[in-house]
Structure 1
Amino acid sequence: MDWTRGHTIGHGSSASVSVAKSRWSDEVFAVKSMELSKSQLLQKEQKILSKLSSPYIVSYKGYDVTKESNKLMFNLMMEYMLDGTLSDEIRRKDGRIKEPLIGYYTKQILQGLEYLHTRGIVHCDIKGQNIFLGKTRAKIADFGCARWIDPVERDSCAEPIGGTPMFMAPEVARGEEQRCPADIWALGCTIIEMATGGSPWANVTNAASLLYRIAFSGQSPEIPKLLSLQARDFLSKCLTRDSKERWTAKELLKHPFLEESNLNCIANQDFVTSSPTSILDQDIWNSVEESETMDFSIQTVCSMDSPFHRVRELGLNSGEFNLKWDDDERWITVRRSSE
């Protein structure tokens, strides 16, 4: 594919995401790029994403290797979701999404998770920042920490523990296993994020104490009392500490909280409120490793090391971006078929 790279819309220590467009069709998509010699995780993400096709998963567009500034770059091309992330939407709604809309997003995330789980894939990093919004639906994105359940599909080396500490299930925080139930726990934490605009765990002082609390305290995140009885019951099925007792995506899709009758009131409501240009002023994409802040909910761990060790080492930069779509000087040609 011949394409040109636009402005960067997200970056970490070694990966960046840019808006890009085809030279022949003017199709706009997103490109996640890393230096080829450091792109093992991005290549794994490409391998997983290339095998997926679902209306609830961000679409795969292809990959290539380019030479830029005397460096070989591995580029993963994906669907560009114009309206940002679920976390952006929470901020647009002043930190709290109304319950019917929570149900609407939750059902679509679950449909994406059921699709992944039936194909033997665990996402490992479900959270508001990795759910992207379009005009009609929410889609799961960022498979940098995803893993295959089937050992045949795995690499020969041991799979790393991956994800965001604030959203980790107890069995993951203990380093025991990371399978489909871990995604369901993270979904429960994401629902709390939607309902309150805050993190699922309160009064956290540092990542190590957070992981210890999740792993060994016997506690689950507090279920917001502002939610209905049905919503709270749904959350309790997601946030069961015993992974074997946690409901599956298939079971949760049949829960009364997600019945269509409960969602009719949003049929005429705008799905999102952003515009094509304003969304690019926000940090809407996250690399495999994300910016470190005092809020541990936006840190991502994806390493062979323990979560306790890795969470202390994360420290990445973030920035503000602005793209003018009609300014040709802001696009650079990355690859031409004639060359």
Structure 2
Amino acid sequence: MAWIIGRTIGRGSSFTVSLAMYSQSGEVLAVKSVELSRSEFLQREQRILSLLKCPRIVAYLGSDVTNENGQLVYNLFMEYVSGGTLTDAIRQQGGRLDESAIRSHTQAILQGLDYMHSRGLVHCDIKGRNVLVGQNGTKISDLGCSRWVGEQPPAMPIAGTPVFMAPEVARGDEQSFPADVWALGCTVIEMATGRPPWLDVADPVSALHRIAFSSDLPDFPRFLSEEAKDFLGKCLRRDPTERWTVHELLKHPFLEEDCLEQLNLKRIQSSISATSPMSILDQGIWESLEESETEKEEATPLHMPNQLELVSSSNSPAERIRRLIECTPSSSSPTPRLPDWTWDEDWVTVRRKNHAEHVVCVGHDQTCMSPTDQYAETNRSSYTHLIRDEEEELELLGRSSTTVHYSVNSSNFNSSSQRLVYIL
């Protein structure tokens, strides 16, 4: 079928990748091209791709040989994946992917590897640049280094990218299914950090020597969840017989359908450990209760929540809430306590003619205030100024008390003794 080549969209070690379009149908595709004399790996990839059909592996569309400026060129046609490589996607996301994206890409790669391994095929070069990302999902590509399980050296030389190689591969022992699992673990690190593993090595030869003969493992990103770290631990085991298979890894908790929801729940629970989701009052009550228990052992002063300490106005809603939260210790108990809100006698209804109802809370050992309607109306101003003066005095003293004490001498009140009132 006739086709038209377009712009170059990528390059490999020996080939170029270009956009192309079938002249008759207008279908867009990708074309890998290399000189025919250097096309051994590309022709090998063509033979392998022609035997595979999996949505997690880039699709094979055909091949041909063209003459360009007197030079024969081998062309391999594949489906076009618009998003580019996984390495490109990492760069576009600011240098690293969040854990939900890592989980999604990892699952797709494992599904492709599971298909390949079930057919006796080892990819041999899993890494970010050999994974494509598009509207139809994540797909494995670049199978030029792939080998069948029976193809061991010298029939098929060891191939791949040094920093992604497994220890047994770096030693030249074998390159089988466990090698793909190790490379997948390295790719997870690449997705999480934006960089390949073993950054502290100077060159590929040093990397191969360290991978092959030391007892070191690549560093696990600290910010990953425990599930993700455990998944990496199953991939990056130096002994290939101890590594999990791709089929086992597909069942790992990190890739479970509800894993993301569980991670989000853990983050929410962690974020509310210091701040109540309901209200400042709710937070203050629980913090005060917890601190009161501690104070019974350590006899330290009660500490108010930071949010309430920042309030500067003694007449603000937060300050009034603060007064409700705290209660000064009694003479019999040096430990601060909370008011008993269930005590019905604490609440006294005060009514005035043709006015709305008002409620005042009085301490257990105090006499209820019940001014007459006429006296309350004529003396409202002096009463208000008296309370305000007391509050300002408390403000100057650093709010050492959360209640207002005052004395009233009048025949209209039941007694002239000191009253304890919570101003609501």
Tell me the TM-score range normalised by the shorter chain: 0.7 to 0.9
List gaps (5 residues or longer) in structure 1. Answer: 267-339
Q: Output one character per residue of 1:121-174: Cα deviation in whole Å (capped at 9) or x when no partner.
A: 1111101111100114100001111111145xx8x9610111111100000100
Q: Is the 8 A contact 1:104 1:263 kept in 2?
A: no
* 1:275 matched residue in structure 2: none
The CA deviation string for residues 65-121 of structure 1, in whole angstroms up to 9 with x for no partner, is 111111111111001110111111111111121111111110010000000001111
Query: 2:258 & 2:13 partners in 1: Cα distance?
Result: 46
Query: Aligned residue for 2:197?
Result: 200
Distance 1:264 1:136 in 2: 24
Q: 1:60: which partner in 2?
A: 60
**RMSD over equivalenced CA pairs, Å:** 1.7
Moved more, 30-39 or 244-253: 30-39
Identity across aligned pairs (percent)? 58
Shift of 1:202: 2.8
1:49 maps to amino acid:
L
Residues 134, 12 of structure 1: CA spacing in aligned structure 2 closer, same or farther, 3 A cutoff? closer
**Aligned twin of 1:117:** 117
Work out the CA distance in 1 between the residues paired with 2:71 and 2:199: 44
Aligned partner of residue 239 in structure 2, secondary structure: coil
Cα distance in 1 for partners of 2:182, 2:248 equals: 14
Per the alignment, in what secondary structure is the counterpart of residue 7 of structure 2? strand
- Which residue of the partner structure matches residue 184 of structure 2? 187
Name the structure 1 match of 2:238.
Answer: 241
Q: TM-score, normalised by structure 1?
A: 0.75
The structure with more radius of gyration: 2
Q: What corresponds to 2:76 in structure 1? A: 76
Map residues 98-117 of structure 1 onto 2, 5 A cutoff: 98-117=98-117
Runs (5+) with no aligned partner, structure 2 = 264-424
Partner of 2:228: 231
> Does structure 2 conserve the Cα–Cα contact (< 8 Å) formed by 1:17 and 1:31?
yes
- The reply to whether residue 42 of structure 1 matches residue 39 of structure 2 is no
1:9 is matched with 9
Question: What TM-score, normalized by structure 2, do the two folds share?
Answer: 0.60
More helix by share: 2
Q: Which amino acid aligns with 1:222?
A: D
Q: Which has the higher contact order (CA 8 A, sep 6+)?
A: 1
Q: Secondary structure at the match of 2:212?
A: helix
1:12–1:251 distance in 2 versus 1, CA, 3 Å: closer
> Helix, strand or coil for the counterpart of 1:163?
coil
Q: Alignment partner of 2:241: what SS?
A: coil
Q: Which amino acid aligns with 2:120?
A: G
Query: Structure 1 pair 202/11, CA: closer, same or farther in 2 (3 Å)?
Result: closer
CA separation of 1:97 and 1:20: change in aligned 2, threshold 3 A: same
| Distance (whole Å) between structure 1 residues aligned to residue 238 and residue 58 of structure 2 | 30
2:159 aligned counterpart, secondary structure: strand
Q: Give distance in 2, aligned partners of 1:114 and 1:147.
A: 15
For the pair 1:23 / 2:23, whether they are aligned, the reply is yes
Q: Identify which of 247, 250, 259 aligns with 1:250.
A: 247
Alpha carbons of 1:150 and 1:71: their partners in 2 closer, same or farther (altered >3 Å)?
same
Q: Is the 8 A contact 1:66 1:72 kept in 2?
A: yes
How many residues are matched? 263
Secondary structure of residue in 2 paired with 1:161: coil
